[in-house]
Structure 1
């Protein structure tokens, strides 16, 4: 089973590559909704790897997931496998 996870890092100019934020998306329907929003395809069709999110996508995800995402980070979304 797969799910999506959002990660946040400082921009490259900060020279700090440590993980600053992580949010694992719970629930099948919410994962499907996020997959459609970020990649315009069903979760089952996504490939492993990470996609950098645009500012617009970050704002849409913040609303959809009802979470606050910091403005000073760059965000990525990636497909993860449940253990």
Structure 2
């Protein structure tokens, strides 16, 4: 299992298609799970989680990837 970050236009737009997707390297999994205050990756697998701007930017800094600021960003677990 691995973490996947996705981004969509804000709800004010009619376009609900995926605009951003990033499969996170598993080397960062434990750090991200802790950053988001989850107990485990299995706990996170129960849904998709909306990230605050601050969380998204912290994760981006951790993984050294720019995460778009103009999208609604989510994180979830992929099999």
Q: Are residues 79 and 39 of structure 1, via their aligned partners in 2, closer, same or farther at CA, if it must alter by over 3 Å?
A: farther
Normalised TM-score (structure 1)? 0.85
Q: 1:10: which partner in 2?
A: 9
Q: 2:44 touches 2:76 (CA, 8 Å); kept in 1?
A: no
Q: Which segments of structure 1 move beyond 4 Å, counting only runs of 4 or more?
A: none
- Runs of 5+ consecutive residues of structure 1 not aligned to the other structure: none
- Runs of 5+ consecutive residues of structure 2 not aligned to the other structure: none
What RMSD over aligned residues (CA atoms) do the two structures have, in Å?
1.3
Normalised TM-score (structure 2)? 0.88
Counterpart Cα distance in 1 of 2:24 and 2:69: 20
- Number of residue-to-residue matches in the alignment: 79
